[in-house]
Amino acid sequence: MTEQRQELVEMLQIMERIELSMAALYTACAERWQKGNSFWLNLVKDEKSHSHYFLRTAELIKQDATSFSPGRLFNKAAVETTVKGIEKNIEGVKNGATSFDALLYIARDYEHALMELDYREIIQSSNAEYIRLTEIVTSQTIMHLRSIEEKISLVNQSHNE
């Protein structure tokens, strides 16, 4: 495997790890707050789909690496710190240290950070399937952010009543 192809596949593995970490966080939430857990389970489903999209992209790169190039690099240490933060929050949910309200804000901030990551800038390609997959991830992440913000608004309203 060429060096560039290997670099692209490694970037995808990191992106996949972020998505699977988010899925694990939302799974912990669904288990902890079973009333209304469909909210969390829908997020889990999408995050797992995102990880599969990145695996599919790795396959596309292995088939035709010339159609892909590294774009904006991200700091691997920063990503590792983010994943460790997600893992810490998973523990907080599981052991009861993190409240439902706090977790909503944490989830909102993670989803917002994922929007800023903008996967299409990290790996650039004119490959139609890759573009379609990244558009799905982006649109679903926007929907996650909106649904979490709506949930925060509802929680805040209930606290004010």
Q: How far is CA 107 from the centre of its chain?
A: 10
Q: What is the DSSP letter of 80?
A: H
d(CA 59, CA 13): 12
The answer regarding whether domain 3-160 maps to CATH 1.20.1260 reads yes
Instruction: Quick: pLDDT tens for 76-120.
Output: 788 889 899 999 999 999 999 999 999 999 999 999 888 777 788
Tell me: the pLDDT tens digits for 132-157?
999 999 999 999 999 999 999 999 98
- Please state the pTM of the whole predicted model: 0.91
> Whole-angstrom Cα distance, residue 81 to residue 38?
29
Gap between the terminal Cα atoms of the chain: 61
In which band, very low, low, confident or very high, does the pLDDT at 1 lie, cut at 50, 70 and 90?
low
